[in-house]
Amino acid sequence: MLETWKHYPDILQKTRETLKRATGCEFSIPKNIVHASDIIYKFRKKIAEKSKFRLVNAKTGEPLKVVDHIGCHYAKIFPEHGIGGAEYPYVLAGLTDEWGGEQVDYPERRHCCGFGFRQYLLKSNRGYSVTNSRIKFESMKPYKPDLIIANCPGCTFFLDRWQYVIAEQEGKTYGEDGYGIPVLTYEEIAGLLLGYDPWDIGLQVHQVAVEPLLDKLGISYDPSSKYKGAGGENLGVPEKPSVLKSS
């Protein structure tokens, strides 16, 4: 965007006009633009200092096994700007290391999550999307990860969603005891470790149940509040999957 505004002043003017019309605010070109996960990475040590929990099994004391998935938009499109570059990005692995977890390295660690934009946005291509995700799940399953952490909302959605779809299509699950592998964003992980209520940060909308992860972390939660809104109103309980185990 910085390069666009530099070389195409008409786009810059349109940006200013749109922001002014929508918010009443004046637009100034920022000196720097960073990915939000870079900010969490920068403050990972301070977050660790303030955290009430670690990425450690509260019962065994063993580090949780964490799969990191880096969004293509972060590491592959602008590798020179991402922490660690394209092949060995460290922006999420650094969080895992600092917060007590154990990195899971597996053959398809850098494989696409399956979203791929055109793979999913065109309905006729969605078989490509789920197939790409399945390749990743099959590759990571032997390592028995406790969770997947991602720095892209699209990646998080599809790695969560397609586990339900694969379970319905093939009767296959990738987590323990019939559950899936919980998929969380770096913000959600940070929030949990800092002591936020899991339902306040929206973990009940994930299709893969997060309760097994919460139990491992030693985080207490109220099952009866899972589907209640901020004012205590009942938001409705979704239909349970026929194969993928849910709590």
The 10s digit of each residue's pLDDT in 23-65 is 999 999 988 888 999 999 999 999 999 999 999 999 999 999 9
Cβ proximity of 127 and 221 under 8 Å: no
Identify which of 202, 184, 112 has the alpha carbon closest to the alpha carbon of residue 146.
184
CA distances from 244 to 35, 205, 208, 240 (A): 33, 15, 8, 8
pLDDT higher for 171 or 78? 171
Q: Output the pLDDT for position 114.
A: 85
Tell me the C-alpha distance between 173 and 168, whole Å.
Answer: 9
User: Which domains does the chain possess?
Assistant: 1-33 (no CATH), 35-225 (3.40.50.11810)
Q: Hey, what are 64's tokens?
A: 């949780």
